[in-house]
Amino acid sequence: MVAVVGGGPAGLMAAETLAAAGQRVEVFDAMPSVGRKFLLAGKGGLNLTHSEPFDTLVQRYAARASTLRPWLQVFGPEALRAWAAALGVETFVGSSGRVFPVDMKAAPLLRAWLHRLREQGVRLHMRHRWLGFDGHGGLRFAAPTGELSVRPTATVLALGGASWPQLGSDAAWVPLLRERGIDLAPLRPANCGFDLSWSAHFRERFAGAPLKSVAITFQGWRQAGEFVVTATGIEGSLVYAASAALRDAIEREGSATFALDLLPARSLDWVTRELAHPRGPRTLSTHLKSRLGLSGVKAGLLWERVPKEVQADAARFAALIKALPIRVTAPRPIAEAISSAGGVRFEALDEHLMLRRLPGVFCAGEMLDWEAPTGGYLLSACFATGRGAGQGAANWRRHEP
């Protein structure tokens, strides 16, 4: 019997791959049901993968691009879409290039997947929390009936990272592997919001307000999009896209300052001319709204961050509208992050995702040391490494006595 510990996308893909290879598979998960984070991720529309060219997609994994490439080549976006179609779930490419199920939901796909797994003979054991290894190399679990030990012939660990711990990814596996000498990178928040200091007035008036059609520039990187002002700082898709660089800068320097362009579709010259246009008896607030279309939270940010003497100077004010410095001081806690960075270093694994120090034990998914932006990249790598670990464990079983 091969044990898969963790019932998220990586673990279930490993289980399916093993079962298809003729192995008897049992899945163990601490939660009452599998795929809880997967289901929550699908509430706003399940972004399965991305349709961009393969080489571009691979580069989204930054420092781990070359490491993940082999698994993504085997089970990349097209293979993932074909796999979903075989489950009866058709997909489409959205305007941003992201790939979604036609009905945008995760639950129908998960139901069909679990049905197929059961038909393959895969057994699911819920409320089984992994406690580590026993003295004979077996797996210890805290189960509803008490502690039990399981002696699989191979094991796939797919226990997730440390984000959304209430759904099962609580990183309780970290000390269990560390005590076995496994090389782990510290777990850190990824695709996360950030703290910064707002005035009480701004916070009370604009917390929850979206900043739309803006752009962030940081360390030579620039991207347009939108994000949200929160009571403690900022969060949202554009912030998540910059989060790895901002987080790393904060770790090095204690804070990070990016430039916020409030009018990315307009040139600095245009903004300067419009600001310099005579406003007569109109207030500056009315002038900003009528000439530049700046009002609401965007105007609020300017009143919050631009001194009055600068507001009176069209050139200086225009420069800040196009590049308003925003200083962030800390990422939000990892439990709030969409995903996490860090985990089992690939250097601790062989080319089949097997732990070098623990022969017969394989790792997959977000517990591995990689990170990626949102946009389908997270699930793509979870599925791909799950399949890779499943294939590795199946090959191990075939060649070991």
- What tens-digit pLDDT sequence spans the chain (401 residues)? 999 999 999 999 999 999 999 999 999 999 999 999 999 888 888 999 999 999 999 999 999 999 999 999 999 999 999 999 999 999 999 989 999 999 999 999 999 999 999 999 999 999 999 999 998 889 999 999 999 999 999 999 999 999 999 999 999 999 999 999 999 999 999 999 999 999 999 999 999 999 999 999 999 999 999 999 999 999 999 999 999 999 999 999 999 999 999 999 999 999 999 999 998 888 999 999 999 999 999 999 999 999 999 999 999 999 999 999 999 999 999 999 999 999 999 999 999 999 999 999 999 999 999 999 999 999 999 999 999 999 999 999 888 65
CA–CA gap between residue 194 and residue 177 (Å, rounded): 30
Q: Is residue 352 classed exposed, middle or buried when 0-12, 13-18 and 19+ CB atoms within 10 A define those classes?
A: middle
**Which amino acid is residue 320, in one-letter code?**
L
Contact 133, 155 (CB under 8 A): no
Report how far Cα 208 is from the mean position of its chain's Cα atoms. 22
CA nearest neighbour of 142 among 176, 179, 100: 176
pLDDT score of 401: 54
Q: Which pTM value belongs to this model?
A: 0.93
Q: Where are the alpha helices (DSSP H) in 266-345?
A: 268-276, 284-287, 296-305, 308-311, 314-322
Q: Is residue 125 classed exposed, middle or buried when 0-12, 13-18 and 19+ CB atoms within 10 A define those classes?
A: middle
**Which amino acid is residue 189, in one-letter code?**
P
**H or E stretch including 57?**
helix 54-59
CA nearest neighbour of 341 among 316, 370, 318: 370
C-alpha dihedral (300, 302, 305, 308), degrees to nearest 10? -110
| Domains of the chain with CATH codes | 2-190+336-399 (3.50.50.60), 194-331 (no CATH)
Contacts with 190 (C-beta within 8 Å, 6 or more apart), sequence order: 163, 243, 244, 247, 337, 338, 339, 340, 341, 371
Give how far Cα 92 sits from Cα of 38, 60, 97, 120, 246, Å. Answer: 19, 21, 9, 28, 32
Task: Kindly tell me the sign of the dihedral angle through the C-alpha atoms of 219, 221, 224, 225.
Answer: negative
Report how far Cα 358 is from the mean position of its chain's Cα atoms. 28
pLDDT score of 244: 97
CA–CA gap between residue 324 and residue 327 (Å, rounded): 10
